[in-house]
Amino acid sequence: MRVSVGKRLRRAAGSVAVRFCLIAAVVAAGAAQVRAADPNALWHIVHDLCAANMRANNDPTPCLAVESGGWAVIKDIHGATQLLLIPTDRITGIESARLLAPGSPNYFAAAWAAQGLFERRAGRPIPREALSLAVNSRYGRSQEQLHIHIDCLRPDVMRTLRAQQRWIGRRWAPLPATLRGHRYRAMRLDGADLGARDPIKLLATEPAARADMGRETLVVAAARFADGRDGFILLSDRAIPGRDQGSGEELQDHGCAVLGPRPPAP
């Protein structure tokens, strides 16, 4: 697709009906082509379509939800279950200084709270340890609008994290085992949800990460620890251009194999 998606969407800004026709064409064209054509495609979808339709008609379509807290949830074209949480404000990515400002929205907590939408897509309850949230680094993304991938963990990643639990403490430290061939740092958080704890701000407590947040990728993997507590394992990796793209999405499985085959309809 060589026509700029952004220009087409902006040109249609005055007509909701026309915009919906365009978004249908965009989705049909495929995510890879859309992203190659316009790195701002996600921003245009959320801002020009979802948020505009919510204001005009109290309808988030083509998103699944538009929340007053400042974010939207949309179905990604890849996989049966993968969702994206996207701010409705202009925030380019993990490197944005706005994410570290006092009182800034906790987008990871909002993404975790979208698990109900995720389970609806899956058609069944999701085991806690299967669910993960990921943001790619500046070098590992194709879009210039912050988006959190919500999807299942890869089964091999689940097994490795379970085996490594005893080495994961409440401060950032290197994970002894590699994940998808990359060395991640890990940190444990207890609690059924994230509450006020913002993983991006927790990552920025590391001086090396804060100095260049654009190189960081961040994954939040839900966990049930051996001591019986629910919690999360935070994982971060630093991009090395040409060697490691810093794409935490690599730890996710957009086929959601951990769930096994979908049960037949009654």
Q: Give the domain ranges of the chain.
A: 1-63, 66-258
Phi-psi region of 97 (alpha: psi -120 to 50; beta: other; left: phi over 0): alpha
Minimum mean pLDDT range among 10-19, 64-73, 185-194, 242-251: 10-19
Contact (Cβ atoms closer than 8 angstroms) between residue 150 and residue 71: no
Residue 86: is its pLDDT beyond 50?
yes
Q: Check: CB of residue 184 under 8 Å from CB of residue 209.
A: no
Q: What pTM, to 2 d.p., does this model score?
A: 0.87
Which CATH superfamily includes the segment(s) 66-258?
Answer: HIT family -  CDH-like (3.30.428.30)
Residue 142 has phi, psi (to 5 degrees) of -115, -5
**Per-residue confidence (pLDDT) for residue 35, from 0 to 100:** 46
The pLDDT assigned to 230 comes to 97
Rounded to an integer, what distance in angstroms lies between the CA atom of residue 107 and that of residue 46?
A: 15
> Average pLDDT for residues 217-223, to the nearest whole number?
98
β-bridge mates for residue 151, sequence order: 132
pLDDT at 30 over 80: no
Predicted pLDDT of residue 242: 87
Structure tokens at 199: 């993983």
